[in-house]
């Protein structure tokens, strides 16, 4: 039986790929290489089946069909998880923002790309529902973060209270309009191409979910936290272009979606540190708490704020 390395080598030979240079890994077990073929650069994605290469190709097809800037796919072996992709270059949006004086233009371009996606992709019947996964991943906070920071597991009473509070909040989130949610729309998954346009990556987890999820992933990115003034300007821009969503009936739920995301991410970063030895993510947790403290000013989150005060008083102090 061939090893994975042998299958990869067969793929490389089949498509006459040369000059294979492996790039920096991301938070997953996927890896990417820049390769050459007939004098042109491409990206080779080596994705274990657990990292959903079939879903990546499915979502890529949906996005490109609706003129959303996902990479072209030139070859694939989905049985083993090898995909040959368009090369968007080396410049992450986060890096471009650090180098560019006109950062606002780049932020706006990213938001406009997101709005275009949300407006164009209407048929979401083949997408999984996000809410089941969101609820499961919310538990990472009590399963991983709580024992990590408290040095002991939470009591069953505390866990039951957490679940009761979030059950009500998830029911409320169901009232928000739904859209295709990339679930990882942030500055390190957006490339700035040589012509100044953007390209999207890492969307194999896309689902149908609350319309504010990707907005919050971008505006409140714990790895690249923006000043509060900039965040407010970006939210205002979004709601100017989507006025119905800016009504109080919906906009009040932005903080709830955000509180869920930061709760989930806090747990996930500890999970990554424990299970994958990726301790570098722990340094970002303080930024998630910063955003979460802001979210908790919303009256819709009063019960959650009281629960956090009871069990995590030090974290709420900042």
Asked if 308 and 190 sit in the same domain, the reply is yes
Name the residue with tokens 């390769």: 35
Q: How many residues does the chain have?
A: 318
Which contacts of 4-7 are long-range, i.e. CB under 8 A and separated by 24 or more positions? 4/80, 7/77, 7/80, 7/82
Task: Provide the pLDDT for residue 102.
Answer: 64
Q: What is the pLDDT of residues 156-170, one digit of tens each?
A: 999 999 999 999 999
Q: Does pTM surpass 0.75?
A: yes
Structural domain ending residue among the three candidates 32, 60, 86:
86
Mean pLDDT of the chain: 94
Residues of the domain holding 24: 4-86
Asked if 61 and 132 sit in the same domain, the reply is no
- The DSSP call for residue 301 is G
* CA distance linking residue 45 with residue 57, whole number of Å: 11
Task: Provide the pLDDT for residue 247.
Answer: 87
Structural domain ending residue among the three candidates 33, 53, 86:
86
Asked if 109 and 42 sit in the same domain, the reply is no
Give residue 126's pLDDT band: very low, low, confident or very high (50, 70, 90). confident
Asked if 103 and 56 sit in the same domain, the reply is no
Task: Provide the pLDDT for residue 26.
Answer: 61
Query: Cβ neighbours of residue 286 under 8 Å, at least 6 residues apart?
Result: none
Six-digit token string for 192: 């700035």
Task: Provide the pLDDT for residue 27.
Answer: 58
Asked if 15 and 134 sit in the same domain, the reply is no
Query: 22 vs 32, 66, 71, 200, 299, CA distance in Å?
Result: 6, 31, 18, 20, 48
Q: What is the CATH number of the domain that holds 15?
A: 3.30.200.20
The number of domains in the chain is 2
Q: In this model, does residue 99 exceed pLDDT 90?
A: no
Closest C-alpha among 205, 242, 19, 301 to residue 112: 242
Asked if 69 and 114 sit in the same domain, the reply is no
The stretch 286-313 carries a mean pLDDT of: 97
Query: Cβ neighbours of residue 60 under 8 Å, at least 6 residues apart?
Result: 70, 71, 73, 203
Give residue 98's pLDDT band: very low, low, confident or very high (50, 70, 90). confident
Q: What is the pLDDT of residues 173-207, one digit of tens each?
A: 999 999 999 999 999 999 999 999 999 999 999 99
Q: Would residue 209 be called left, alpha or beta, if left means φ above 0 and alpha means ψ between -120 and 50 degrees?
A: beta
Q: What is the CATH number of the domain that holds 269?
A: 3.90.1200.10
Which contacts of 266-272 are long-range, i.e. CB under 8 A and separated by 24 or more positions? 266/140, 266/141, 266/145, 266/292, 267/137, 267/138, 267/139, 267/140, 267/141, 267/142, 267/143, 267/144, 267/145, 268/137, 268/140, 268/144, 270/140, 270/144, 270/145, 270/148, 271/140, 271/144, 272/27
Q: In this model, does residue 28 exceed pLDDT 80?
A: no
Asked if 81 and 120 sit in the same domain, the reply is no
Asked if 224 and 274 sit in the same domain, the reply is yes
The stretch 49-55 carries a mean pLDDT of: 93
Task: Provide the pLDDT for residue 123.
Answer: 82
Structural domain ending residue among the three candidates 71, 86, 101:
86
Pair 46, 33: CB distance under 8 Å: yes
Asked if 158 and 23 sit in the same domain, the reply is no
* CA distance linking residue 37 with residue 187, whole number of Å: 29
Q: In this model, does residue 9 exceed pLDDT 80?
A: yes
Asked if 100 and 47 sit in the same domain, the reply is no
């Amino acid at each position: 039986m061939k090893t994975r390395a042998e299958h990869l080598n067969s793929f490389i030979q089949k498509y006459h790929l040369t000059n294979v240079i492996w790039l920096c890994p991301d938070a997953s077990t996927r890896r990417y290489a820049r390769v050459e073929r007939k004098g042109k650069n491409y990206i080779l994605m080596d994705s274990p089946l657990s990292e959903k290469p079939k879903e990546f190709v499915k979502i890529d097809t949906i996005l490109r069909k609706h003129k959303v800037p996902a990479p072209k796919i030139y070859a694939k072996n989905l049985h083993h998880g090898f995909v040959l992709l368009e090369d968007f270059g080396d410049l992450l949006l986060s890096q471009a923002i650090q180098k560019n004086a006109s950062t606002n233009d780049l932020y706006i371009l990213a938001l406009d790309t997101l709005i275009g996606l949300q407006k164009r992709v209407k048929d979401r019947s083949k997408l999984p529902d996000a809410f089941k996964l969101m609820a499961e991943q919310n538990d990472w906070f009590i399963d991983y973060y709580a024992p990590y920071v408290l040095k002991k597991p939470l009591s069953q009473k505390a866990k039951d209270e957490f679940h009761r509070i979030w059950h009500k909040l998830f029911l409320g989130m169901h009232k928000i309009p739904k859209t295709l949610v990339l679930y990882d729309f942030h500055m390190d998954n957006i490339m700035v191409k040589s012509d100044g346009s953007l390209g999207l990556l890492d969307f194999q987890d896309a689902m149908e979910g609350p319309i504010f999820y990707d907005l919050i992933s971008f505006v409140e990115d714990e790895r690249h936290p923006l000043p509060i003034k900039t965040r407010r300007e970006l939210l205002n821009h979004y709601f100017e272009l989507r006025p119905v969503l800016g009504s109080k009936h919906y906009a009040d739920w932005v903080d709830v979606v955000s509180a869920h995301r930061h709760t989930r991410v806090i747990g996930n970063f500890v999970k990554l540190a424990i299970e994958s030895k990726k301790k570098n993510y722990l340094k970002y947790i303080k930024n998630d708490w910063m955003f979460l403290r802001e979210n908790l000013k919303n009256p819709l989150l009063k019960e959650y704020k009281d629960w956090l005060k009871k069990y995590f008083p030090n974290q709420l102090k900042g």
